[in-house]
Amino acid sequence: MLIYKQFLTKGKERIDPKQLNQQEKKKLRNWINLMTISNTLAVVGALLAALSFLILGGELLRPRGLVPQENQVAETLGTLLGDLWGPFGFWFMVAIVFITFCSTVLSVEDGFGRMFADGTQIILQGFGVRGRWTNEKFLQSVYIVVLLAILPIAVYLFFGQPVGLLQTAGAIEAAHIPIVTGLTLFLSHRMLPKELRPSKTIFAGTAITGIFFAVFAVIYLLQLIGVIGSGAGSN
């Protein structure tokens, strides 16, 4: 995401995709292919990581009766690896957790800050607003500092329940994925020329993904508020 941003922000002028010539469309198609490959690798990597955590929990933590508590995840996993590799294994796991945390923070700050700034700029310009509040750099800084830094810290200090906050964040993310997926498919179909539109296979796969997350979001929210799942726990 950080690398893509450097390419995407070189040109500031807005281009109508339907007015591109064949050479420009070919360049964009190559760029889309590159992003498709990199995003596919990212999805596969995330899937392998998720499966690894499921195996770790089911085959290693559960038999030992270990359930990492909130901010003790790195310590618990480090202790397990330390039993195999000694002190090096413990600090190696702690370093991995720290690096993963830093990469997540950087991607969230860059991606969401830029997305919110661009969206706000487009909306405000549509209402005739000009000046500081339509400056992309200023808006991005405001969102990063207020929405992605001060607000999460304040919520954590006020509620003090990291697991509950993660569950809430997961519910929000699960709920917004179907909306983003639907809007992306709609805009791609309406605005992009035929040569740059996703193939039928990609379109169908993305639509199925959006539907899956929509169903998952509903089930997840019902579990959080106790509508489903409570009966299974009482039996």
Joined together, the tokens standing for residue 174 give 């699960």
Confidence check: pLDDT of 89 > 70: yes
d(C-alpha 27, C-alpha 136), whole Å: 26
Average pLDDT, the chain: 78
Q: Answer whether residue 230 shows pLDDT above 60.
A: no
pLDDT for residue 40 is more than 80 = yes
Amino acid identity at 128: G
pLDDT of residue 177: 84
Q: Using 50, 70 and 90 to split pLDDT, how confident is the model at 6?
A: very low
pLDDT at 3 over 60: no
Mean pLDDT of 97-121: 82
CA distance 19 to 198: 18
Residue 192's Cβ-count burial label (10 Å; 0-12, 13-18, 19+) is middle
pLDDT band of 233, cuts 50, 70, 90: very low
Tokens for 49, please give them: 């990581």
The model's confidence at residue 50, banded by pLDDT at 50, 70 and 90, is confident
Whether the predicted pLDDT of 13 surpasses 70 = no
Give pTM, 2 decimals: 0.58
